């Protein structure tokens, strides 16, 4: 996202409006909601200790249904219908890939906020 900072800071370059919306969406979804989700998971872990398993089951069901809706909508509106054959990967994406990817992004954002370099 640092490579797109000129979209926010520069006023003398004219960008496509959809591109600018995309950058603000990326900031909102990838930074703000990532930290909000992490903080809410920590809050849930400490304040719902007696029924924590039910809360996490509910969270996973909500994530599963939202991912299923996204995949089905993409399958319906996409001209390439053959991608629906990968719908069996939904549980893997939900339980393994997305949390791991979120952890990597969170780690990179925290390192960047601390002033340390983010590299591969």
Count of structural domains, the chain: 1
What distance in Å separates the CA atoms of residue 22 and residue 27, rounded to the nearest whole number? Answer: 9
Q: Are 109 and 31 in contact (CB under 8 A)?
A: yes
Instruction: Please determine, for residue 36, whether its predicted confidence score (pLDDT) is greater than 70.
Output: yes
What is the predicted pLDDT for the residue at 11?
Answer: 66
Q: Is the pLDDT of residue 83 over 60?
A: yes
Domain span at residue 25 reads 1-47
pTM for this entry: 0.61
Residue 13 resides in a domain: yes
Residue 55: inside a domain: no
Residues 98, 108 contacting (CB under 8 angstroms): no
88 belongs to a structural domain: no
Does residue 39 lie within any of the structural domains? Answer: yes
Rounded Cα–Cα distance for residues 31 and 38 (Å) = 11
17 falls within a domain: yes
Structure letter (DSSP) for residue 91: H
Domain contains 33: yes
User: Residue 36: inside a domain, yes or no?
Assistant: yes
Structure confidence at residue 46 as a pLDDT band (50, 70, 90): confident
With respect to residue 11, please indicate whether it lies within any of the assigned structural domains. yes
pLDDT of residue 1 exceeding 60: no
Average pLDDT, the chain: 79
């Amino acid at each position: 996202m640092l490579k797109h900072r000129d979209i926010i800071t520069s006023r003398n370059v004219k960008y496509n409006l959809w591109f600018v919306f995309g950058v603000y969406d990326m900031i909102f979804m990838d930074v703000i909601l990532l930290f909000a989700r992490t903080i809410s998971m920590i809050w849930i872990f400490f304040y719902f200790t007696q029924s924590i398993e039910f809360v996490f089951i509910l969270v996973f069901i909500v994530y599963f249904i939202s991912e299923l809706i996204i995949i089905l909508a993409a399958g319906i509106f996409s001209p390439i219908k053959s991608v629906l054959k990968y719908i069996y990967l939904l549980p893997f994406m939900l339980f393994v890939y997305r949390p791991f990817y979120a952890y990597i992004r969170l780690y990179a954002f925290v390192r960047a906020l601390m002033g340390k370099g983010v590299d591969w």
